[in-house]
Amino acid sequence: METYTLRDGLTVPKIGFGTYKLNGSHGVNVIDSAIDRGYRLLDTAFNYENEGAVGEAVRRSSVPRSELLISSKLPGRQVC
């Protein structure tokens, strides 16, 4: 996959895999399959409520965690 290089030297994939509505064992399998197919950026959000599925797919993957980038979003109306 093509990447962007940020000013700090971090490389970020140009295309990520969205995990919206991917929950439970089905979600784990789909996300794991995406990693196997070359996706290295996983996009999730607090509101997706799928942290467990994303985490389990990352654990199951043969790809080292250091090669994966996980982006997330916080709810816009919630005070931090």
pLDDT at 77: 73
Q: How far apart are CA 67 and CA 54, in angstroms?
A: 15
- CA nearest to 46, candidates 17, 14, 19, 13: 19
Give the residue numbers annotated as catalytic, written as ranges: 48
pLDDT digits (tens, 9 = 90+) for 10-58: 999 999 999 999 999 999 999 999 999 999 999 999 999 999 999 999 9
Alpha helices in the chain (DSSP H): 24-36, 51-60
**Confidence band of 75 (pLDDT split at 50, 70, 90):** confident
pLDDT at 78 over 80: no
The reported pLDDT for the residue numbered 40 is 98
